[in-house]
Amino acid sequence: MPELLLGVCLLGLLVAQKKHLGLANPFTIYFSAWSLIIGLFCLLQSTFEEPSSEFILIILLAKLIVFLLLVIVKPVKFQAANYGQSTVVRIRPKLLAWAQLLTLVLIPFALQRVGELSGGADILTREGYTALRASMTWDGQSLGLFQYISILSFVVSALSLYLWYYGALSIVRAAFSVGVALFYVYIGTGRTTILLLAVSVVIPLVIVGAIRVRGLVVAFASLMLLFSFVALMTGKGVYVDVTLMENIESYTQNLRSYTVAPLLALNEFMKTEPPIEFGVSTFRVIFAMLSFLGFSDIAPVALINDYVYVPDATNVYTVYKDYFLDFSYFGIIIPPLFLIGHWWLYRRALHKGGRWLFVYASTTFPLIMQFFQDQYFSLASLWIQIILWYIIFIKPRASNVVEQCRVR
């Protein structure tokens, strides 16, 4: 049965290429991610709990819905090489320069906040970095203002690299922007934010033809190195005091827990037949806001789930969990329908450019993370921030000529 799931995903990936939709189209991203996860499960299924046939059929239905959408959509006529002459993003260079400066000058204050969270420990050591993560993960602490500044730094990096590609910004300033963003990723301690930064800067360049297959391979390798570095610093799968083979084994085990295991965790969760919550999990942001303002006695659902063993320990349950909890089996077909929105954004990124290019790039993050957990409604405030920043930095209309905004 899992092999049937894999076959549908691989077929979807093949059809997405035959329709020439481009490397960054949402169907290629969706089927690539799920092909990898389900393929790994097929290889390792003897070491995992066996999912029920009913569960496989439900997930298969979700994949078939996306495949049907892929078959329905019309191929887009687009040549990446001509993108720069047809829909150029007109970025406000002075505002971008001020934002670059702001993200830089706030670094000492961010370090002061980090010192408070880590109890004064040096965050360049594994002990200090682990203490910082523990305070934010288990003690309910946060970076406060600097959480918002980190998102600003991601936006600045994406725009800076775009300007550099078109010769409107020096490589020094573009690299500087990425370096500052990586600093905020580091103090955030999360590995998923690395992916958000990566898609923010890489996907726009893929769409305009600056990055092709070889560049994507390099970007993926760099992403894995960053993941490994954070794993080393947080003591999650990589350690300095053990042998190479022991590190490979522990890191592989950690990857299993957060790639394949979530799908099996969902199977176990659905067996419990929890009562329907009618939107409490999906619309958590709204309930959190109402609770904060004193208009509701319903406490927002905790973002960190309980661990389940399949037999690997994991506390993430794929994108489907919250929708199943709120809408029962009907909720399973909701995430596949998000591909309609992704496709709508992608077409506008191709044909209108401007803000659409970068907004679409950001939304590939929750699309990739569907195998992990819901990043759509649960991160609503994040998407609002990102959209607002792009509205501020990018003029509403694209130009037919590359705007001369050299700000070296």
What is the four-CA torsion angle of 107, 141, 153, 201, rounded to 10 degrees? 140
pLDDT at 385 over 90: yes
Give the per-residue pLDDT at 407.
40
CA distance to 102, 153, 333, per residue, from 146 (Å): 11, 10, 36
3-state secondary structure 92-142: CHHHHHHHHHHHHHCHHHHHHHHHHHCCCCCCCCHHHHHHHHHHHHCCCCC
- Is the Cβ–Cβ distance between 89 and 162 less than 8 Å? yes
Task: Report helix, strand and coil shares of the chain as percent, to nearest 5.
Answer: 70, 0, 30
Please tell me the distance from the alpha carbon of residue 156 to that of residue 270, in angstroms, as a whole number.
41
Query: Which residues have CB under 8 Å from 141's CB, separation 6+?
Result: 117, 135
Entry pTM: 0.89
**In this predicted model, what pLDDT tens digit does every residue of 234-278 receive, in sequence order?**
766 566 666 767 667 777 888 888 899 999 999 999 998 888 888
CA distance to 74, 202, 254, per residue, from 314 (Å): 39, 29, 9
Give the per-residue pLDDT at 296.
67
Please tell me the distance from the alpha carbon of residue 25 to that of residue 376, in angstroms, as a whole number.
18
Give the per-residue pLDDT at 82.
44
pLDDT at 400 over 60: no
What single letter denotes the amino acid at residue 30? Y
- Rounded percentage of the chain residues whose pLDDT exceeds 70: 88
What tokens appear for 250 in the block?
């522990």
CA distance to 175, 209, 370, per residue, from 408 (Å): 12, 23, 39
Kindly report the average pLDDT of the chain as a whole number: 86
DSSP H or E stretch at residue 134: helix 126-137
Please tell me the distance from the alpha carbon of residue 179 to that of residue 171, in angstroms, as a whole number.
12
Please tell me the distance from the alpha carbon of residue 38 to that of residue 371, in angstroms, as a whole number.
10
Residues in the chain: 408
What tokens appear for 10 in the block?
């691989």
- Is the Cβ–Cβ distance between 89 and 168 less than 8 Å? no
Please tell me the distance from the alpha carbon of residue 22 to that of residue 376, in angstroms, as a whole number.
24
pLDDT at 150 over 90: yes
What tokens appear for 302 in the block?
């905790």
- Is the Cβ–Cβ distance between 363 and 380 less than 8 Å? no
